[in-house]
Structure 1
């Protein structure tokens, strides 16, 4: 009259692993995409902006005048 149905035990582990595996792949792809567009791309843009107008000789002369280098006068 009031009996409970038997729990599913056959292939229960495989079913749960499949669910968690798909979830793990989705989360890892989301983290990778957010890192790429949130960290890597802005960093590459910052480096490109810096080196676009960077003059190494001007920087060297400023450091030389400041007395940073011991071997040059």
Structure 2
């Protein structure tokens, strides 16, 4: 009959494990944040600013006012 001793299995590294996991997840979350911020800037913010600039470049407020007065 053979018996297994506890020295055969190595203990998992428990000391400092939360810090290692937190560091890994913090770096990953920061990378995802940068990707989302860049996507928002180039896909939403810049086209919106360009649309406003294009609209107000040729906008005549008096002409728009006169059209609203007709109605």
Q: Same fold (TM over 0.5)?
A: yes
Q: Which structure would you say has the larger RCO, counting Cα contacts within 8 Å and 6 or more residues apart?
A: 1
Partner Cα separation in structure 2 for residue 4 and residue 57 of structure 1: 84
TM-score by structure 2 length? 0.85
Q: What are structure 2's unaligned runs of at least 5 residues?
A: none
Paired residues for 1:1-73 under 5 Å: 3-66=8-71
Alignment coverage as a number of residue pairs: 66
| TM-score normalised per structure 1 | 0.82
